[in-house]
Structure 1
Amino acid sequence: MSSRVLGQIFDCIIIGGGPAGYTAAIYLARAEIKHILFTGFQPGGQLISTKKIENYPGFKDGISGYNLMESFKAQSEKFGTQVKYNSVVKIKINRKPKVMNMHETVLDNSLKIKTKAIIIATGANTRYLNIENEKKLIGKGLYTCANCDGYFFKEKKVAVIGGGDKAAEESIYLSNICKKVYIIIRDNKMKASKILQKQVVNINNVEIFYNHKVRKLIGKQKLQAIYCKNRTNNRTYLFHVEAIFLAIGQIPNTLICKPNIKLDKDGYIITKSTITNIPGIFAAGDVQDSSYRQAITSAASGCISAIEVEKYLRTEVE
């Protein structure tokens, strides 16, 4: 850790180096608010594993997730953001009533840093199947966002894994692009809302398979097929597809929030705008967004959180 950080008290600490964190940093830097950003264990967030992004404005030929996040980082540093590759492992909340709450973050190297405000932008991790060959095929036929990667499989056969709203929405989206969409559901029914279920069952090129569990992904350099087992009759099936889209949920990275920062039943931070239940602590990006989960919406909430921090600091001074 640089001597520039040791012993300092910051106006704001940003936890997380994805679109939300870096956008917040850009706005804080331009407002001349003293801040620092800790990237955590995955600098750049989930986008790092995305080979090509074509739905982020400003890049007519698309851009890789890695290059996009490097651009975010470079822009924030240009305006003076300190970026450190540490993880925050604990937040110590100060509830003194007569002075501005001076919170404290504890890093993975045990260093403690005080701050007036915190933006939590730790994102969420995709819930994977945890089966053979899965991690090897990420970005090579296995994807987590149909809006991001479905375009590359025009007139191809694909599968969506899951039975909730996201699975239904992604299947509807893919049905307009792909030749065939298989929905593989582990349970005996869909959990998606009734209106989405009605839409899905009426699409000609969508076929639903209930009580099917994905057991193995076939392919070395790219996905070739998925091997499934019917849970009711134990028969096995091979689906020849060029891509699968996981829609079995996400796991928000909110371990450091417990027990003081309020979470919903799925573990996402509860916010009003980006304001949490703790004065001086804000949340942005996928860690508080269970609905949209897009790079652009994360960046937007990062902007909002920085503006809220500026208002909070100004109000406390007044």
Structure 2
Amino acid sequence: MYKTIVIGTGPAGLTAAIYLARANLSPLVIEGLQPGGQLTTTTEVENFPGFPEGILGPDLMDNMRKQAERFGAEFKNGWVESVDFSQRPFKVTVDGLGVLEAESVIISTGASARYMGIPGEQENVGRGVSTCATCDGFFFRGKKIVVVGGGDSAMEEASFLTRFASSVTLVHRRSELRASKIMQDRARDNSKVVWALDRTPLEVATDEKGVKGLMVRNNETGNSELVEADGVFVAIGHTPNTAFLGDQITTDPNGYIVVNPGTTETNIPGVFACGDVQDTRYRQAISAAGTGCMAAMDAEKYLEGSMVHDWSESLDK
């Protein structure tokens, strides 16, 4: 029986573990298939406070893990297959570990960026391929960039990246965009944005220096073309990692966990959510860490109330 089980080890989960451990709650942290979350695939992190020279993503996550361990957090590696929030204690079924019980649960499983699934993409993530303009745009100052996508996120990323890039080519496989009119107009009014619509991405092209562009198929002619660029930003959406929850936790139409405004509370008392799994807007390491702190404090307050309630019931008996 654990006071709190934290599912996930990105900035949110690790921050929650630090706060819980310092409160003497000895949390158990379940690491998934990618301990440390998306930052472990990032090279230089320059916008996390406290590191004026920047820090490598894996190093930042390793430091946070060590900090949580120092205060008594326990880590176990495994994949959460299912949860049972219908009764207390809550039950968490983990592949290789069996059924674990907890008085409270913090869900910080994040959201996975969707990729194109083309050659040259995955092997160059963090080396010219990115899914976060605010994280990596600075590294492409004065360079050519390709943004892939046709929704609001792609328009926003393209407009943001024009602050740094010499030009931003927006590639979309259809001739029409899914983005709202106001977002399209904003991008079209930007002189640095170049349009390459009705093009299907085929391969991230590289040479000995790194990424050199995106090979696409012109859907009108059928011919292959190289869109020259120093960086390729994929903006085709994110998928929150919530499938293991079934229908026990309230989510929005896109699968993100819904929390009570200003808190990390879900629809089930004692179950909390933090980080990108409930964040449809910011998706930054520092904002995830902030909600991790909130979740730990919410869980601590919940546990205090539960313990008082249990103690009062025992006196009545």
TM over 0.5: yes
Q: Structure 1: how far apart are the matches of 2:298 and 2:152?
A: 31
Q: Equivalent residue of 2:200, what SS?
A: strand
Q: Equivalent residue of 2:300, what SS?
A: helix
Please state which structure has a larger fraction of its residues in strand.
2
Q: Under a length normalisation based on structure 1, what TM-score does the superposition of the two structures give? A: 0.92
Q: Structure 2: how far apart are the matches of 1:185 and 1:307?
A: 43
User: Which residue of structure 2 aligns with residue 174 of structure 1?
Assistant: 161
Q: Structure 1: how far apart are the matches of 2:216 and 2:79?
A: 38
Compute the displacement of 1:178 (Å).
Answer: 0.6
The answer to whether 1:294 aligns with 2:251 is no
Alignment match of 1:36 (pick from 28, 39, 42): 28
Opposite residue 132 of structure 1, the aligned amino acid is: P
User: Which residue of structure 2 aligns with residue 112 of structure 1?
Assistant: 99
Opposite residue 129 of structure 2, the aligned amino acid is: L
Q: Structure 1: how far apart are the matches of 2:180 and 2:103?
A: 42
User: Which residue of structure 2 aligns with residue 4 of structure 1?
Assistant: none
Opposite residue 176 of structure 2, the aligned amino acid is: K
1:277-292 map, 5 Å: 277-292=267-282
Alignment match of 1:102 (pick from 85, 89, 98): 89
Q: Structure 2: how far apart are the matches of 1:232 and 1:275?
A: 50
The answer to whether 1:257 aligns with 2:249 is no
What is the RMSD computed on CA atoms of the aligned residues? 1.4
User: Which residue of structure 2 aligns with residue 18 of structure 1?
Assistant: 10
Q: Equivalent residue of 2:136, what SS?
A: helix
Query: Is the Cα–Cα contact under 8 Å of residues 185 and 211 in structure 1 kept in the other structure?
Result: yes
Alignment match of 2:47 (pick from 26, 31, 55): 55
Q: Give the % identical residues.
A: 39
User: Which residue of structure 2 aligns with residue 306 of structure 1?
Assistant: 296
Runs of 4+ with >3 A deviation: none
Structure 1 residues not aligned, in runs of 5+: 1-8, 96-100
Query: Is the Cα–Cα contact under 8 Å of residues 142 and 164 in structure 2 kept in the other structure?
Result: yes
User: Which residue of structure 1 aligns with residue 259 of structure 2?
Assistant: 271
Q: Structure 2: how far apart are the matches of 1:124 and 1:13?
A: 19
Q: Under a length normalisation based on structure 2, what TM-score does the superposition of the two structures give? A: 0.93
Q: Equivalent residue of 1:159, what SS?
A: strand
Query: Is the Cα–Cα contact under 8 Å of residues 137 and 164 in structure 2 kept in the other structure?
Result: yes
Q: Structure 2: how far apart are the matches of 1:85 and 1:65?
A: 20
Q: Structure 1: how far apart are the matches of 2:127 and 2:150?
A: 23
Cα offsets for 1:164-191 (capped at 9, x unmatched):
1221111111111110100111222222
Compute the displacement of 1:16 (Å).
Answer: 0.5
User: Which residue of structure 1 aligns with residue 143 of structure 2?
Assistant: 156
Q: Structure 2: how far apart are the matches of 1:275 and 1:165?
A: 28
Q: Equivalent residue of 2:46, what SS?
A: coil
Q: Structure 1: how far apart are the matches of 2:20 and 2:213?
A: 47
Bigger mean CA deviation after superposition, 206-215 or 39-48: 206-215
Compute the displacement of 1:112 (Å).
Answer: 1.2
User: Which residue of structure 1 aligns with residue 128 of structure 2?
Assistant: 141
User: Which residue of structure 1 aligns with residue 315 of structure 2?
Assistant: none
Compute the displacement of 1:233 (Å).
Answer: 3.6
Query: Is the Cα–Cα contact under 8 Å of residues 94 and 102 in structure 1 kept in the other structure?
Result: no
Cα offsets for 1:210-251 (capped at 9, x unmatched):
221101111155211211112234233211101010100111
Compute the displacement of 1:192 (Å).
Answer: 2.4
Q: Structure 1: how far apart are the matches of 2:131 and 2:189?
A: 24
Q: Across the two proteins, how many residue pairs are aligned to each other?
A: 305
User: Which residue of structure 1 aligns with residue 69 of structure 2?
Assistant: 77
The answer to whether 1:190 aligns with 2:177 is yes
Cα offsets for 1:115-134 (capped at 9, x unmatched):
01000111111101011222
